[in-house]
Amino acid sequence: MTTKIKIIINDKQIEVAEGSSIVDAAVCAGVIIPTLCFHKDLCVAGNCRVCVVEIAGQKRLSAACATPCEEGMEILTNSLKVRNARKQIIELLLSEHNADCTLCYKNGNCELQKLASDYKIMTQDFIQLAPLRKYQIDHYSPSMIKDDSKCIRCQRCVRTCAEIQGVSALTAAYKGDRMKIATFFEKPMNDVVCTNCGQCINHCPTGALVERNYIEEVWDALANKDKFVIVQTAPAVRVGLGEELGFEPGTRVTGKMVAALKRLGFDAVMDTDFSADLTIMEEGSELLMRLKKVLVDHDPNVKLPLATSCSPAWIKYIEHMYPDYLDHLSTCKSPQQMFGALVKTYYAKHFNLNPENIVSVSIMPCTAKKFEANRPEMHDSGYRDVDYVLTTRELAIMIKQAGIDFLKLDDRSFDQIMGASTGAGVIFGATGGVMEAALRTAYELVTGREVPFENLNIMPVRGMEGVREASILIENPLPDWSFLEGVELKCAVAHGLVNAKSLMDSIVSGESQYHFIEIMACPGGCLGGGGQPIPTNPEIRRKRALAIYAEDQGMPLRKSHQNPEILKIYSEFLTEPLSEVSHHLLHTHYTPRERF
Amino acid sequence: MTPGYDLKRVDFIFQTESDWKEILQKSLSRPPAELINELISSELKGRGGAGFPTGLKWKLAADELSPIKYIICNADEGEPGTFKDREILSKVPMKVLTAMAVCGFVIGSLEAYIYLRGEYFFLKPALNKAIQEFQATCHDLNFDFRIKLFMGAGAYICGEETALFESMEGKRGEPRNKPPYPTSFGYLGKPTVINNVETLAHTYTIFKYGAKRFYDLGVQYSRGSKLFSVSGDSPKPGIYELELGMSLLDFVHDFGDGDTKAVQVGGASGFLVPQKRFAETTIGFQGKLTGISLPTGGSMMLFNSSRSMYNVLDNYLEFFREESCGQCTPCRVGCQQLLNGIKAVKRGEKTGQYLDKLLRLTETMQYTAKCGLGQSVANSFSSIVENFREEMIY
């Protein structure tokens, strides 16, 4: 039981749990205290000082985010003293900030801009500091752009990179007026340990960290009559896009998204869920093959646990942090890259298109996908497999630019022949989804029976726990898989790289023995990805996850191996999982990297 | 000399330390509660500048239940114009070590650190030698007390106690949010007593002579003596132990060069007192006696009429602009605005009225900055601008 204490906020007496911060307590009193450095995903920093409040009996003001309530505390959130101080702090922030709002990518979704608007900062008396500095914009990364002139030093990105991702590619450097957020030795973002996950972008209150956008490039392609522009959409996009366009978090907008893409002028609108199903076929087969090689052949070169390879930020992370463990990664490309490789081969052949004229675009909840599409390995079709990667946010921008009234759109369906999918493909968008989808297929492949979970819902791998474990006992397998009789298949799921680290460390130390692990770099999986709508917080991610599982539940087919287009592609093009064609187009290799 | 002139020199701190073993042994044989009471009744307040009652600090830490506690001697003496701690550690290190061990005995801690200012690297060999000798004696007394030296790296902010902990923990030296306070959540999250070098040296005096000898010095709210680092336009700069509660006028009579225009009390983060207010200003802690009473870490900088107060302020602000950790908005941006602001006024780019805006800014900094650094920039800024406004403009 938590003890309750009585406090007074602006004359209103309320009871709150002992230890709650003044910011949280104010919410109970119906008072919103403005914040900037505070974020629900992160530890309290208390450094922007925008949330200062007056406590009776104290001369100094206190940061509401960092001050715990005490019995009998009398708090004023809007006294003259508070207002004057708060306004002056906002003025200070603006004086240091390159406030060219109309030229800023985050114009309209900037927390500092909102504060300036709320407090009607109409004059700038302080000396403008930003022009006095020589700021250089870092646009070396294929995924993101870092503009220090927009930075307000709230250190949300620093805390995100450390607490959520355990990477610390960004840290505070120097002191005093020179204090800034920097990489190791101020190297460019593409040259450091940064995984391109984009979580810093999602948590940045201003335009200091934004995705590198390819909106104009895609408009150009759409306008070019010689080009056949194909678009694929990732599972998590359909549960996030609505937030940018007037829907509540957790609204599924699959049909409207397809309709909007068609209106934008894409020649074919297809589904990454299709290649997610394909990934399951390949990766499930790879898992079973590895199990056989380890358990039957005792091949020392084959490594377990098998780790999923769908999350490009996770891939870059393991390349930096555990370069000796790259053999554990599935060789399967991510669904985006499988799709890309097939578009300019299988699809082109099927519709008799010249792959040279195909522009392959993907809509992803992710910024690391931009990096992934740019990797030198990703040219197996003979061309660049995926030409442009847009985030959910960029798609929303295009829809707004095109003047599409998204709310009024009628639902449309994906095009053929790479547009059909199953519920197993959809749940790739949530943490634990790849694991669940793989188990649904692999278990059935081995035993001929459905996974022993009600409604195919493998609940132990779902949820928002940082690391989750599950095991399935294999009994009475089909004759081909008799070596798996009695084997307890042990699995683990982690999301957020800080959790990936703890899982990996337990594997490296030998403390844990798993057969299969799923790792997603972002909190909540792709639905919490770095390319998803801003803001993000645990509540929003929970709603998006519910939407993902509702989408799965509503699908007529929920197992990847039932997808008719998957059966078709194997019979017409790939022959079978892990075939030579598959290996050429759908599998890849990895690169060890330095740890800074 | 004016009538009533009475500046009392005291000689406790630099008195011989040869009796340290005796004092240590004697103190370790007394009940901890009695030692705390001795300190409380002496009314010793922290000599680093903030003036927190030392006895209460020890008591708070002693009352904590944690099996692990730490003691830290703050020797990150960085306040401009302060150089007393260096002298204590060079001349009477055993007093400081003894006081730390007694503190350990009182609060139940066996692990102590001296956080030594990076620029005092030259003190390291001698201090380590002293620590070795001291620990051997502790060992002989069956008191397994360990003291380690931790070198700072030159950041002023690391003298702030919580930034100091962060620095010791291998992190960036940035102040923490308070509460929690060090006595419950300090170094490595454990209850920690962190005392200034001089404070510890004074406890030695108190344990040696008893609280009364100390209490009898000074005035109400400001008991005992204090070391002063005298610098600037004085014919006899140096370190002096003086009784608290003295009037600034008396001080200037003794240490000034006859042409003293103003005295900066308490370093760059302290106050500038102009000549017209010398008589009404006393040097001590809170509680007004006659006129203003100024707390101080012991820095006394004298300025004569040849000095431009604009240059003085410019110098302080440049210092703060650079030494702010950069973490919180009011301090990081505020210091830049103050410095750029007075420059702009001086150059005629902003009118004299802009100084009023800057004064309001220092008020905000005082109310909202995260730690003492940003909060105290207002002290020197407002006292200089208010008293020497014309020097700022023309």
Question: For chain B, what are the domain ranges?
Answer: 20-215, 218-304, 309-393
Q: Is the pLDDT assigned to residue B4 strictly greater than 70? A: no
What residues contact residue A391 under an 8 Å CB cut-off, 6+ apart?
A198, A211, A213, A363, A364, A365, A366, A367, A530, A531, A532
Question: What average pLDDT does this structure show over B80-86?
Answer: 94
**Record: contact A89-B364, CB cut-off 8 A:** yes
Residues A199 and A331 in one domain: no
- Residues of A with Cβ-Cβ distance to B334 under 8 angstroms: 92
Least confident of A418-422, A479-483, B8-12: B8-12
Instruction: Summarize the confidence of residues A61-65 as an average pLDDT.
Output: 97
CATH class as words, domain B309-393? mainly alpha
Q: Do A153 and B367 touch (CB under 8 A)?
A: no
Q: Is A456 part of any domain?
A: yes
Cβ of residue B128 closer than 8 Å to a chain A Cβ: no
Residues of B within 8 A of A174 (CB-CB) are 326
Enter the tokens of residue A142.
């294929």
Cβ distance B321 to A126 less than 8 Å, yes or no, reads no
A396 and A494 part of one domain: yes
Same domain, A204 and A225: no
CB-CB neighbors (< 8 A) of A115 in chain B: none
Q: What is the mean pLDDT of residues A539-560?
A: 96
**Which residues of A are identified as catalytic?**
283, 286, 310, 330, 369, 372, 377, 526
Q: Count how many domains chain A has.
A: 3
B333 closest CB neighbour out of A60, A66, A93: A93
Give the whole-number percent of chain A exceeding pLDDT 70. Answer: 100
pLDDT single digits (tens) A450-471: 999 999 999 999 999 999 999 9
Q: Residues B232-253: pLDDT tens digits? A: 999 999 999 999 988 999 999 9
Q: What is the pLDDT of residue B330?
A: 97
> Of A190, A211, A232, which residue is a domain's last?
A211
CB atoms B360 and A129 under 8 Å: no
Q: What is the CATH number of the domain that holds A294?
A: 3.40.950.10
Across A412-416, average pLDDT: 95
Q: Where residue A25 sits, what CATH number does that domain have? A: 3.10.20.740
Residue position matching structure tokens 């309530």: A69
Specify if A163 maps to a domain. Answer: yes
Contact predicate B120/B89, CB 8 Å: yes
Residue (of A63, A57, A65, A72) closest to A5 by Cα position: A72
pLDDT over 60 (residue B5): no
Domain shared by A64 and A97, yes or no: no
Tell me, what's the pLDDT at A143? 96
Task: Determine the distance in angstroms separating the CA of B179 from the nearest CA of chain A, rounded to an integer.
Answer: 7
CATH class of B20-215: alpha beta
DSSP for A236-266 reads: GGGGTHHHHTTPPTT---HHHHHHHHHHHT-
Shared-domain flag, residues A333 and A384: yes
Does A67 lie at the interface with B, CB-CB under 8 angstroms?
Answer: yes
- The CA distance from A180 to the nearest CA of chain B, in Å, is 8
Chain B partners within 8 Å of A93 (Cβ):
329, 333
Closest residue in B to A128 (Cα) is B337
Under a CB-based contact definition with an 8 Å cutoff, are residues A440 and A425 in contact?
A: no
Question: Which residues have C-beta within 8 Å of that of residue B231, sequence separation ≥ 6?
Answer: B81, B83, B237, B299, B300, B301, B302
- Is A366 strand, coil or helix? coil
Burial B186-214 (b: 16+ CB within 10 A, else e): bbeebbbbbbbbbbbbbbbbbbbeebeeb
Hey, what are A511's tokens?
């403390």
Contact between B369 and A85 using a beta-carbon 8 Å cutoff:
no
Residue to substitute from B316, B327, B361, B370, interface A, most A β-carbons within 10 A? B327
CA–CA dist B231, B237 (Å, integer): 5
Residue A79: HSE in the Cβ half-sphere, 13 Å Cα cutoff: 15
Per-residue pLDDT at B288 exceeds 70? no
| Residues A250, A134 within the same domain | no
pLDDT (average), residues A25-44: 96
Instruction: Give ∠ CA A281-A337-A568 in degrees, rounded to 5.
Output: 40
In the predicted structure, residue A596 carries a pLDDT above the cut 90? no
Distance between CA A413 and CA A517 in Å, rounded?
A: 33
| pLDDT at residue B287 tops 60 | no
Within 8 A by CB and 6+ apart from A15, the residues are A4, A5, A6
* Contact yes or no for A486/A498 (Cβ under 8 A): no
**Residue B370 with chain A: CB contacts under 8 Å:** 46-47, 49, 63
Residues B327, A179: C-beta atoms closer than 8 Å = yes
Q: Which of B323, B328, B357 sits opposite A49 (nearest CB)?
A: B328
Residue whose C-alpha is closest to residue B272's, from B369, B371, B377, B161: B377
Q: Residue A41's domain spans which residues?
A: 4-78
Average pLDDT over chain A, rounded to an integer: 96
- End residue of a domain, out of A157, A185, A211: A211
pLDDT tier at B285 (50, 70, 90 boundaries)? confident
- The amino acid that residue B298 corresponds to is G
Would A338 be classed as within a structural domain? yes
The C-alpha of B219 sits at a distance from chain A's nearest C-alpha, in angstroms, of: 26
- Specify whether A173 is located in the same domain as A44: no
The domain B218-304 is placed in CATH, from the list 3.90.1200.10, 3.10.20.600, 3.30.499.10, 3.40.50.300, at 3.10.20.600
B374-to-A76, A410, B175, B363, B369 alpha-carbon distances in Å? 23, 58, 11, 10, 5
The dihedral through the CA atoms of B152, B155, B159, B162 has a sign that is: negative
Per-residue pLDDT tens over the stretch B193-220: 999 999 999 999 999 999 999 999 998 8
pLDDT digits (tens, 9 = 90+) for A201-237: 999 999 999 999 999 999 999 999 999 999 999 999 9
pLDDT score, position B3: 43
Question: Residue A391 is inside which H or E element, if any?
Answer: strand A388-391
- CB contact under 8 Å between A49 and B321, yes or no, is no
Whether B336 contacts chain A with CB within 8 A? yes
- Domain for residue A542, yes or no? yes
| A356 and A372 part of one domain | yes
Task: State the pLDDT confidence band at B294, using cuts at 50, 70 and 90.
Answer: low
Report the pLDDT value the prediction gives residue A323, as an integer from 0 to 100.
97
The radius of gyration computed from the CA coordinates of chain B, to the nearest angstrom, equals: 21
Contacts of B357 in chain A (CB under 8 A): 125
pLDDT digits (tens, 9 = 90+) for B43-61: 999 998 788 999 999 999 9
Average confidence (pLDDT) over B81-89: 95
Final residue of a structural domain among A78, A110, A126: A78
Q: Which tokens is A577 given?
A: 């999982």
CB-CB neighbors (< 8 A) of B341 in chain A: 126-127
Put simply, whether A96 touches B (Cβ < 8 Å) is yes
B51 or A503: which leads in pLDDT: A503
Nearest chain A residue to B331, by CA: A176
Q: Residue B292: what pLDDT?
A: 61
Instruction: Identify whether residues A136 and A259 lie together within a single domain.
Output: no
DSSP letter, residue A332: B
Average pLDDT over residues B299-327: 97
Question: What integer pLDDT is reported at residue B289 of this predicted model?
Answer: 39
Report the distance separating Cα A530 and Cα A392, nearest Å.
9
At B6, is the pLDDT very low, low, confident or very high (cuts 50, 70, 90)?
A: low
For chain B positions 341-380, those within 8 Å of chain A (CB to CB) are 341, 344, 354, 357, 360-361, 364, 366-370, 375
Give dist(CA A587, CA B376) in Å, integer: 62
Which pLDDT does position B295 carry in this prediction? 65
d(CA A126, CA A132): 13
Q: Provide the pLDDT confidence category of residue B163 given band limits of 50, 70 and 90.
A: very high
Whether omega for the bond prior to residue A365 falls within 30 degrees of 0, making it cis, is no
A68 contacts chain B (CB < 8 A): yes
The distance of B315 to chain A (nearest Cα, Å) reads 15
User: Looking at the structure, do residues A336 and A288 belong to the same domain, yes or no?
Assistant: yes
The arithmetic mean of pLDDT across residues A178-194, rounded, is: 95
- pLDDT of the residue at B290: 41
**Confidence class for position B1, pLDDT limits 50, 70, 90:** very low
User: HEC string of A111-125?
Assistant: HHHHHHHHCCCCCCC
Q: How confident is the model at residue B286 (pLDDT cuts 50, 70, 90)?
A: low
Nearest chain B Cα distance for residue A175, angstroms = 5
Q: Within an 8 Å CB–CB cutoff, is residue B338 touching chain A?
A: no
pLDDT (tens digit, 9 = 90+) per residue, A328-378? 999 999 999 999 999 999 999 999 999 999 999 999 999 999 999 999 999
**Shortest Cα distance, chain A CAs vs residue B385, angstroms:** 18
Are A175 and B367 in contact (CB < 8 Å)? Answer: no
Pair (A147, A242) in one structural domain: no
Instruction: Please check whether residues A327 and A261 belong to one and the same domain.
Output: yes
